[in-house]
Amino acid sequence: MSNPNPSSRPPKGMPKPPLVPSRNPLSWMAIGLILLLMFLTVVRTSRVEEISFSPEFLDYVEKGYVKSVRFQSEKITGEFNEAGLAARPDGSAKHFDVIYTPAMYNEKLIERLESAKVEIRGKAQDIWLPILWQLLPIAVLVALIYFFFLRNLRSGGGGMLMNFGRSRHKLRGKEQKITFDDVAGIEEAKEEVAETIEFLKNPKKFKKIGGRIPRGLLLIGPPGCGKTLLAKAIAGEADVPFFSIAGSDFVEMFVGVGASRVRDLFKQAKENSPCIIFLDEIDAIGKKRGPGFVSGGHDEREQTLNAILVEMDGFDTDDQVIVIAATNRADILDPALTRPGRFDRSVNVPLPDLKGRAQILKVHARKVKLGPDVDFERLARVTPMFSGAELEAVINEAAISASMANKDFVEMTDLEEARDKIRWGRAKKSRAVDESDKRLTAFHEAGHALVQSMLKDADPLHKVSIIPRGSMGGATFALPEKDRHVYTRRYCMALLQVWYGGRIAEELFCDDISSGAQMDIQQATSVAREMVMTWGMGEQMGLVNYSGDPARDYYLGPANEYSQKTAELIDQEVKKIVDQAYHDARMLIEANKDKLEAIAKSLLKYETLDAEDVKTLITGGTLDKPTVGDLLVQEQKKTQAN
């Protein structure tokens, strides 16, 4: 077997090491004793005894038993001196710990230690460290509250707590100038604000003669009719800065913030004079302060409103600041706001009329490429009650859909489709409609279309369609020749007959009747009620208003100021009117059943018919245009060819 560890063998020729003499037992005992003593010493010196601050520690210090102390975060570590060790029982530890809190630290303790000649280490520095450690969580908590709570409260305000009460207005400079050219269809409103522009441009002219120029302008009108736009245009025309803020921005959860924001806004505006302050949604803060029992709890709103009034009262003759406020609900504004010297000039910004709608469409169409067939006058006719904002959306929708169809310009069909989409919702061409439902819808719509076309008191027909849109299965559109500000009895009766035409057609041509008449019945009922209760068109009700005062009802709730007997009479009158309309419409349809059938069948074939198509069918003609099936085949061929 070979040697596993060749290197352990002594090399040849080296002298052998001398043998170690063996120790006697006594020397082993001595070594053991020494080791024991050393161990005891080490144990003694490394052992630590815990003693109380008072009276033990203070007592030992007093007696001069302590050699040194070190202040640490939560304890004092120390060492006894020889006298201390001697005085204490045998085997006591040399070191000690005193548990203490920084509150026990005081100058007196240090004096006592010093007079007892105790060596002190890490005094003040180690004393304050624990205090800081204890304060750290509180500091972190405060920082967290500040960053997450207060900054969020300011939401978008930009940071510092100091800014909390500062105004959150937006300042529009002169670079994004909007002028009267951008505002269309509200000519009277533009004329009314002309003097304000003149005052901002040329105040000396007014000072010369004297007189007080109205500083507060109240723009009143439905949403989206251009109140904000008009205010911006005033600033643009006068070439002055425009400070805008919404009423709701003033209202915070802390009382007094709104008022301080108002003061800040007015201060900044005065520094930038001449300028315009625009307060949108003034009704958010300027609501009437109701009678005692319904008010209360609105301190913040009232304080803000008062601050606005005070600021407006405090204008100097040299301050060229005009305050423009906008609201949809002038009827609920506090009279203090509309008092002379405040918002004493009110300007109506109504829904645009026929001419106005055409102008607004043209203004927004400036940015869009138009096809040769676009007729804004016609589009204006089919957009009654559309606001400026909705008309802008029509142009925009049409431009988007023309782009999606890879067209070079917007055509009339795009605009009409966009109109339908904005008012009634997107066409659901792909929605699978059951054949019997489709037939029911076709006859229902044909009923509306026939009555609409044949009654001379009704608006002319625009088009009829059975393509589902929004929540509707189909629709019949009228093309009013003018905007109506007054409704005659005959027009109202014609409206009711058109609405009932759908249900009557279902009754005469389908086995069943449907819920499709829900909206028709609802609209007919509300017009009939208005006729009786508000417009004095009932036979027995006389010229009495039974529908109350909306402004008063807003605060006190609707009040029925008539007897139960009158209520029954109103119901009877309403029923009489709707029955009459139903009867007349039924007579008309029964006399023209063949025409209605022709319209319904064509609707099933073509899905949409315009006024010309319906006229052709009523006069016994036939339609010569591609059916929906033909169009689908054409479309398929086109896709295959590509």
Min separation Cβ 472 and ligand ATP, Å: 26
Identify the CA nearest to 324 among candidates 357, 299, 349.
349
Min separation Cβ 298 and ligand ATP, Å: 22
Residue 107 designated active-site: no
Min separation Cβ 188 and ligand ATP, Å: 12
Q: How far apart (Å, rounded) are the C-alpha atoms in residues 129 and 312? A: 57
Instruction: Say if residues 223 and 389 touch (Cβ distance below 8 Å).
Output: yes
Min separation Cβ 365 and ligand ATP, Å: 11
Q: How far apart (Å, rounded) are the C-alpha atoms in residues 385 and 353? A: 8
Cis peptide bond N-terminal to 460, omega within 30? no
What sign does the CA torsion over 519, 524, 525, 531 have?
positive
Nearer to ligand ATP, 227 or 462 (CB): 227
Hey, what long-range contacts does 513-521 have (CB within 8 A, 24 or more apart)? 514/440, 514/444, 516/440, 516/441, 516/444, 516/473, 517/444, 519/472
Kind and range of the H or E element at 476? Answer: strand 475-478
Identify the CA nearest to 492 among candidates 578, 382, 613.
578
Query: Phi then psi for 9, rounded to 5 degrees?
Result: -75, 135
Task: State the chain's maximal CA–CA distance in angstroms.
Answer: 149
Nearer to ligand ATP, 225 or 374 (CB): 225
Using a 10 angstrom Cβ sphere, with 0-12 exposed, 13-18 middle and 19 or more buried, the burial of residue 65 is buried
Q: How far apart (Å, rounded) are the C-alpha atoms in residues 472 and 462? A: 17
Min separation Cβ 262 and ligand ATP, Å: 20
Min separation Cβ 327 and ligand ATP, Å: 8
What sign does the CA torsion over 516, 519, 525, 528 have?
negative
Min separation Cβ 483 and ligand ATP, Å: 15
Nearer to ligand ATP, 229 or 614 (CB): 229
Using a 10 angstrom Cβ sphere, with 0-12 exposed, 13-18 middle and 19 or more buried, the burial of residue 500 is buried
Question: For tokens 């209520």, what's the residue?
Answer: 567
Nearer to ligand ATP, 92 or 346 (CB): 346
Q: How far apart (Å, rounded) are the C-alpha atoms in residues 325 and 343? A: 8
In angstroms, the first-to-last Cα distance of the chain is: 93
Min separation Cβ 386 and ligand ATP, Å: 10
- Helix locations, 203-333, DSSP H: 203-209, 227-238, 247-250, 257-271, 283-286, 299-313
Active-site choice (252, 445, 573, 607):
445
Nearer to ligand ATP, 224 or 384 (CB): 224
Binding site for ligand ATP (CB under 6 A): 183-186, 221, 223-229, 280, 326, 328, 360, 363, 388-389, 392
Nearer to ligand ATP, 186 or 598 (CB): 186
The residue whose Cβ lies closest to ligand ATP is 388
Nearer to ligand ATP, 59 or 188 (CB): 188
Instruction: Say if residues 385 and 412 touch (Cβ distance below 8 Å).
Output: no
Residues 6+ apart with CB under 8 A from 226: 183, 185, 186, 349, 388, 389
Nearer to ligand ATP, 57 or 376 (CB): 376
Which residues are part of the catalytic machinery?
Answer: 445
